């Protein structure tokens, strides 16, 4: 069964003809989605078969979009200091505090921190307000954490932030090199396109360069598990190998580039051959040699890269080391070849286009005097910023130091997502004025807000996004605005009006803003700037409403191609690309005797960023219900984790507690922890509290993937499980909380005396209703049930004084929340914690579309289903979105290995 066969329709049936065409709000693949409201407020979604990014596919997160549109937890009214207020009071307060701060402390005392979740129109007005009318470039976006090194690398090599290629190049390539990207989990539909291509054309090769063995390696012919931070050495060695192998495209290099000799000299000095590169990267020589030879002899090569390259103190050099190899071979801008950066966020590219990075001005222009003059004339702006502002990490340092005193955060959660979040939280607590625009009321960041501004969420918003292959797509509203929530562009424009800039922000809607954005891209642009969408500047409102996915460039003068740079035409003054010398540099903080392990962070398959939406969907949470420490078995033993269930992980910057998962997918010396969990879903579970705030000197992107840490067993004195109809926010040294159908499940553990742990939990649960307890005399274990006024189950708690797992069937108990009133005898039966008759064990969920557990898949494999299709036929797993197919493939491969042994 091919993936293509079944994925275009939602689980549960076809959508009607009136379904709205919109775009997924998660990753940078930018999949088209069809969505419609069903009966009783339900929302159904399906992949858009006409969208060029996905042609009907959706991953697990995209397939579950309809389950994220509820109003639970939404911020629906403006608030000042937690008090509900009207829009006028909230907007006037933001405008007044920004104006007063600038009047007293100067233009640079204020800042915006924005997000790749914003639509292009929101981004455009925020950038215009602060850079054109507040006179400071102190606006940075959380895209700084995601792809700033790619932006900087592109600009150094090409003179512009240009992604030269297309997704179709992955299918057209004979060799795809995936560097620092778990594409299968972070960009699942793109991975599925590649997997389908490789399956149809087995001669296509895939090489994965990543310190970890990830799900992406299921498609790999070769996996290079290099030492973290050594990518520059690997690609320096490749450049010297290509030179020695006579693979230089001399015609391309002579006509279209500058600086080869210096780059080659640096590469030769760093890694004169494959053996040297292998030593520097801690890789087997034969594997590096095989990679180099394959790259050298293959004309159609794409090198695709993501956060493993970007989130590094040498991120920009890594990008340029990759680009150097493609320029050297002339393999750029033609079908099936080129360097390819994929962005993490749905509109990271849109943010780059409007210029919402602190070191960009607007429309791919920087702060050169002629650009400042041009933008000032276009905006008719009185005081355009003339120099770059503070990048994200520096911005929060400046806030803590007191030089930035008013901050407006839009659609992002820096108290979780920035490195050294303890410092970020200190900065937010100390900042005299913090406004936060968000669609959720309770996040780790909104806790610091003086003013909360309710923004629209996906399904309610209207505007445009740009994906990683430069395709602009419309996000269209199909749900009404709830409560008093408003579009981000409206909120910014209303504040601008109250700051006296109303004439420049008199847009009637997103179409007006988009036309202005398109016109700026074309303003005095006669081919000297890559970003030109002038052909869209005259769209009527109706044209904008029905705008189909459109790839830029699309200049009004016409003549644009799909790819960039096949025939040169770079955006440097002499129109030649630049080779960049990239001497390898180790990560800034090396492991020490005190902190001997290297912490890597990243995504899990079914969660998105700080979980504000995906963390509320039971079938997404079930794939990974909590944060874990992935550690090699030898390191686990060496650091005393042995049979320990938990570890305390510490760096110089902070600490956390995580469940231990031993795995030989990580190399000895490396550990991995997911980035998503935070104070809303876990206690002591935020990994960025540990992450060092070092940044790449060129791009300002933090080194989120390399932190020296130490680990030690963490042994609790007690454990508990609470099942509750309402969401409770338990407190303990370690806890995690996850939604299930009809109830929430919270697990807790603490080192406090069991008696005090129990009394806190009992008090929390007793608030849920009338309780029935089961406590054996002289025993420190407790069981408690609470029934609401209607006699329905409100909460159940099981408490054990010790560190052993609680022997209860939480799945069966959870199903009892669907029941009507419980009789006392039934209630007592529940307190035994076990189903009356044995039930089949499902195991952790692998297929979230059809809730198929690992054990069921293993049983199918054991019964002879030894292909993906056979497992799909037996269990349905992997037959809808396909996101779980790499994990199923790994189980099949492991079973084959076992039977061959």
Instruction: Give the per-residue contact string, 511-550, with ligand SF4 (x = CB under 6 A; - = no).
Output: ----------------------------------------
Tell me whether residue 55 or residue 792 sits nearer to ligand SF4 (CB atom): 55
Tell me whether residue 606 or residue 733 sits nearer to ligand SF4 (CB atom): 606
**DSSP readout, 687-753?**
GGGTS---B-TTT--B-TT-EEEEEEE---SEEEEEEESSPP---SSEEEEEEETTEEEEEEEESS-
Q: Looking at residues 185 to 204 of the shown chain, list those that interact with ligand SF4 (rule: CB under 6 A).
A: 187-189
Tell me how far, at minimum, the Cβ of 171 lies from ligand SF4, in Å: 16
Given 3, 20, 22, 26, the residue binding ligand SF4 (CB under 6 A): 26
Tell me how far, at minimum, the Cβ of 28 lies from ligand SF4, in Å: 7
Give the three-class secondary structure for 189.
helix
Yes or no: say if 622 and 681 are a contact pair by the CB < 8 Å rule. Answer: no
Residue 728 CA to residue 714 CA, distance in Å, equals: 25
Tell me whether residue 314 or residue 614 sits nearer to ligand SF4 (CB atom): 614
Tell me whether residue 3 or residue 393 sits nearer to ligand SF4 (CB atom): 3
Give the three-class secondary structure for 597.
strand
Q: Quick one: which of 525, 453, 445 has its CA closest to 486?
A: 453
Yes or no: say if 421 and 415 are a contact pair by the CB < 8 Å rule. Answer: yes
Q: For residue 467, give every residue at least 6 positions away whose Cβ sits within 8 Å of its Cβ, in sequence order, or none.
A: 28, 29, 30, 53, 343, 346, 349, 473
Tell me whether residue 54 or residue 417 sits nearer to ligand SF4 (CB atom): 54
User: Does 464 engage in binding with ligand SF4 (CB under 6 A)?
Assistant: no
Given 27, 424, 801, 865, the residue binding ligand SF4 (CB under 6 A): 27
User: Does 3 engage in binding with ligand SF4 (CB under 6 A)?
Assistant: no
**DSSP readout, 778-824?**
T---EEEEEE-TTS-EEEEEEEESSSSPP---HHHHHHGGGSSPPPH
User: Does 29 engage in binding with ligand SF4 (CB under 6 A)?
Assistant: yes
Beta-sheet strand order (sheet of 301-305): 222-224, 205-209, 175-179, 301-305, 338-341
Tell me how far, at minimum, the Cβ of 620 lies from ligand SF4, in Å: 11
Tell me whether residue 59 or residue 749 sits nearer to ligand SF4 (CB atom): 59
Tell me whether residue 31 or residue 327 sits nearer to ligand SF4 (CB atom): 31
Q: Quick one: which of 270, 613, 652 has its CA closest to 443?
A: 613
User: Does 459 engage in binding with ligand SF4 (CB under 6 A)?
Assistant: no
C-alpha R_g of the chain: 27
Tell me how far, at minimum, the Cβ of 25 lies from ligand SF4, in Å: 8
In this chain, which residue has its C-beta nearest to ligand SF4?
62
Tell me whether residue 31 or residue 384 sits nearer to ligand SF4 (CB atom): 31
Please report, for residues 257, 285, 296, 740, 868, the alpha-carbon distance to residue 223 in angstroms, rounded to integers and kept in the order given.
32, 13, 17, 37, 22
Given 34, 37, 51, 61, the residue binding ligand SF4 (CB under 6 A): 61
User: Does 797 engage in binding with ligand SF4 (CB under 6 A)?
Assistant: no
Q: Quick one: which of 215, 280, 206 has its CA closest to 665?
A: 215
User: Does 31 engage in binding with ligand SF4 (CB under 6 A)?
Assistant: yes
Give the three-class secondary structure for 224.
strand
Tell me how far, at minimum, the Cβ of 887 lies from ligand SF4, in Å: 16
Q: What DSSP element (H or E) covers 91? A: helix 87-105
Tell me how far, at minimum, the Cβ of 883 lies from ligand SF4, in Å: 8
Given 58, 148, 381, 451, the residue binding ligand SF4 (CB under 6 A): 58
Tell me how far, at minimum, the Cβ of 53 lies from ligand SF4, in Å: 7
Tell me whether residue 56 or residue 330 sits nearer to ligand SF4 (CB atom): 56
Beta-sheet strand order (sheet of 32-37): 20-23, 32-37, 43-47
Residue 226 CA to residue 656 CA, distance in Å, equals: 27
**DSSP readout, 419-443?**
SSHHHHHHHHHH-SEEEEEESBS--
User: Does 170 engage in binding with ligand SF4 (CB under 6 A)?
Assistant: no
User: Does 248 engage in binding with ligand SF4 (CB under 6 A)?
Assistant: no
Tell me whether residue 93 or residue 473 sits nearer to ligand SF4 (CB atom): 473
Tell me whether residue 26 or residue 799 sits nearer to ligand SF4 (CB atom): 26
| Stretch in the footprint of ligand SF4 (CB under 6 A) among 183-191, 458-466, 686-694, 704-712 | 183-191
Given 7, 24, 232, 656, the residue binding ligand SF4 (CB under 6 A): 24
The helix-helix angle for 260-270 and 231-244 (nearest 10°) equals 110
| Count of residues in the chain | 901
| Stretch in the footprint of ligand SF4 (CB under 6 A) among 58-66, 593-601, 834-842, 856-864 | 58-66
Beta-sheet strand order (sheet of 83-84): 83-84, 79-80, 451-454, 433-438, 406-410, 110-114, 139-141
> With CB under 6 A, what is the number of residues at the site for ligand SF4?
14
Tell me how far, at minimum, the Cβ of 880 lies from ligand SF4, in Å: 12
β-strand 793-800 against 718-724: which pairing, if any? antiparallel
Tell me whether residue 347 or residue 684 sits nearer to ligand SF4 (CB atom): 347
Instruction: Give the per-residue contact string, 429-458, with ligand SF4 (x = CB under 6 A; - = no).
Output: ------------------------------
Q: Which residue, chain included where needed, has tokens 């890694």?
A: 271
Tell me how far, at minimum, the Cβ of 310 lies from ligand SF4, in Å: 17
Taking residue 564's Cβ as centre, other Cβ atoms within 10 Å add up to 23
Tell me how far, at minimum, the Cβ of 190 lies from ligand SF4, in Å: 7
Tell me whether residue 24 or residue 267 sits nearer to ligand SF4 (CB atom): 24
β-strand 782-787 against 770-774: which pairing, if any? antiparallel
Residue 826 CA to residue 771 CA, distance in Å, equals: 14
Assigned token pair, 691:
């992450």
User: Does 215 engage in binding with ligand SF4 (CB under 6 A)?
Assistant: no
CA angle 707, 231, 326 (to 5 degrees): 145
Tell me how far, at minimum, the Cβ of 10 lies from ligand SF4, in Å: 12
Tell me how far, at minimum, the Cβ of 27 lies from ligand SF4, in Å: 3
Tell me whether residue 468 or residue 701 sits nearer to ligand SF4 (CB atom): 468
Give the three-class secondary structure for 134.
coil
| Stretch in the footprint of ligand SF4 (CB under 6 A) among 23-31, 350-358, 377-385, 442-450 | 23-31
Tell me whether residue 188 or residue 330 sits nearer to ligand SF4 (CB atom): 188
User: Does 59 engage in binding with ligand SF4 (CB under 6 A)?
Assistant: yes
Interface ranges with ligand SF4 (CB under 6 A): 24, 26-27, 29-31, 54, 58-59, 61-62, 187-189
């Amino acid at each position: 069964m091919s993936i293509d066969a079944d994925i275009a329709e939602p689980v549960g049936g076809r959508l009607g003809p009136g379904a709205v065409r919109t775009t997924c709000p998660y990753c940078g693949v930018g999949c088209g989605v069809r969505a419609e409201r069903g009966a009783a407020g339900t929302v159904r979604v399906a992949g858009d078969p006409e969208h060029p990014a996905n042609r009907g596919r959706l991953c697990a997160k995209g397939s579950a979009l309809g389950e994220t549109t509820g109003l639970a937890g939404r911020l629906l009214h403006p608030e000042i200091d937690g008090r509900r207020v009207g829009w006028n009071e909230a907007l006037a307060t933001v405008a007044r505090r920004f104006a007063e701060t600038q009047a007293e402390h100067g233009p640079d005392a204020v800042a915006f921190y924005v997000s790749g979740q914003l639509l292009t129109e929101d981004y455009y007005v925020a950038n215009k307000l602060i850079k054109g009318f507040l006179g400071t470039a102190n606006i940075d976006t959380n895209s700084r954490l995601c792809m700033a090194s790619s932006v900087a690398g592109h600009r150094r090599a090409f003179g512009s932030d240009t992604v030269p290629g297309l997704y179709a190049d992955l299918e057209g390539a004979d060799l795809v090199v995936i560097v620092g990207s778990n594409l299968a989990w972070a960009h699942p539909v793109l991975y599925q396109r590649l997997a389908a291509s490789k399956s149809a054309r087995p001669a296509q090769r895939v090489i994965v360069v990543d310190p970890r063995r990830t799900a992406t390696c299921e498609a790999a012919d070769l996996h290079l598990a290099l030492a973290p931070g050594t990518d520059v050495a690997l690609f320096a060695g490749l450049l010297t190998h290509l030179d020695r192998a006579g693979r230089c495209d001399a015609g391309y290099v002579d006509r279209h580039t500058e600086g080869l000799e210096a780059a080659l000299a640096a590469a030769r000095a760093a890694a004169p051959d494959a053996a040297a590169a292998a030593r520097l990267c801690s890789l087997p020589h034969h594997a590096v040699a095989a990679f180099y030879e394959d790259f050298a002899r293959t004309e159609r090569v794409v090198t695709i890269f993501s956060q493993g390259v970007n989130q590094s103190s040498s991120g920009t050099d890594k990008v340029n080391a990759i680009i150097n190899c493609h320029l050297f071979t002339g393999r750029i801008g033609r079908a099936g070849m080129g360097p390819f950066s994929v962005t993490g966020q749905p509109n990271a590219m849109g943010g780059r286009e409007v210029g919402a990075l602190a070191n960009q001005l607007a429309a791919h222009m920087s702060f050169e005097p002629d650009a400042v003059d041009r933008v000032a004339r276009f905006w008719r702006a009185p005081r355009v910023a003339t120099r770059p502002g503070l990048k994200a990490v520096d911005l929060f340092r400046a806030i803590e130091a007191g030089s930035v005193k008013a901050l407006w955060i839009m659609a992002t959660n820096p108290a979780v997502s920035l490195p050294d979040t303890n410092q970020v939280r200190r900065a937010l607590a100390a900042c005299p004025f913090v406004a936060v625009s968000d669609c959720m009321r309770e996040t780790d960041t909104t806790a610091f807000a003086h003013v909360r501004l309710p923004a629209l969420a996906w399904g309610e918003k209207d505007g445009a996004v740009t994906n990683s292959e430069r395709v602009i797509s419309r996000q269209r509203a199909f749900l009404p605005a709830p409560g008093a929530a408003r579009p981000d562009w409206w909120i910014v424009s209303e504040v601008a009006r109250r700051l006296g800039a109303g004439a420049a922000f008199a847009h009637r809607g997103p179409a007006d803003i988009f036309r202005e954005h398109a016109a700026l891209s074309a303003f005095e642009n006669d081919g000297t700037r890559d970003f030109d969408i002038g052909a869209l500047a005259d769209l009527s409102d109706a044209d904008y409403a029905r705008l189909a996915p459109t790839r830029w460039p699309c200049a009004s003068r016409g003549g644009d191609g799909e790819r960039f740079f096949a025939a040169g035409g770079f955006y440097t003054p002499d129109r030649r690309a630049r080779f960049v010398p990239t001497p390898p540099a180790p990560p800034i903080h090396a492991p020490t005797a005190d902190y001997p392990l290297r912490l890597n962070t990243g995504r899990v398959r079914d969660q998105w960023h700080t979980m504000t939406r995906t963390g509320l969907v039971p079938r997404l949470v079930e794939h990974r219900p909590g944060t874990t420490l992935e550690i090699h078995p030898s390191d686990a033993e060496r650091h005393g984790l042995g049979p320990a269930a938990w570890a305390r992980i510490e760096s110089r910057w902070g600490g956390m507690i995580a469940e231990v998962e031993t795995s030989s997918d990580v190399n000895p010396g490396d550990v991995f922890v997911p980035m998503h969990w935070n104070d809303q879903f876990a206690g002591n579970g935020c990994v960025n509290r540990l992450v060092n705030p070092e940044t790449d000197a060129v791009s300002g992107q933090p080194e989120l993937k390399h932190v020296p840490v130490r680990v030690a067993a963490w042994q609790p004195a007690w454990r508990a499980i609470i099942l509750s109809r309402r969401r409770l926010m338990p407190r303990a040294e370690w806890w995690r909380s996850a939604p299930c159908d009809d109830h929430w499940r919270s697990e807790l553990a603490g080192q406090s005396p069991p008696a005090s742990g129990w009394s806190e939990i009992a008090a929390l649960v007793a608030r849920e209703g009338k309780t029935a307890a089961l406590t054996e005399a002289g025993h420190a274990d407790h069981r408690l049930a609470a029934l609401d006024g209607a006699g329905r189950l409100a909460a159940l708690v099981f408490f054990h004084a010790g560190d052993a797992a609680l022997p209860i069937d939480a799945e069966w108990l959870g199903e009892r929340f669907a029941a009507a009133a419980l009789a006392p005898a039934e209630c007592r039966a529940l307190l035994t914690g076990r189903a009356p008759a044995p039930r089949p064990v499902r195991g952790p969920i692998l297929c979230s579309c059809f809730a198929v557990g690992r054990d069921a898949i293993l049983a199918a494999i054991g019964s002879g289903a030894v292909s993906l299709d056979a497992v799909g036929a037996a269990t349905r797993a992997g037959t809808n979105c396909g996101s779980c197919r790499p994990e199923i493939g790994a189980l099949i491969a492991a079973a084959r290995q076992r039977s061959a042994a």
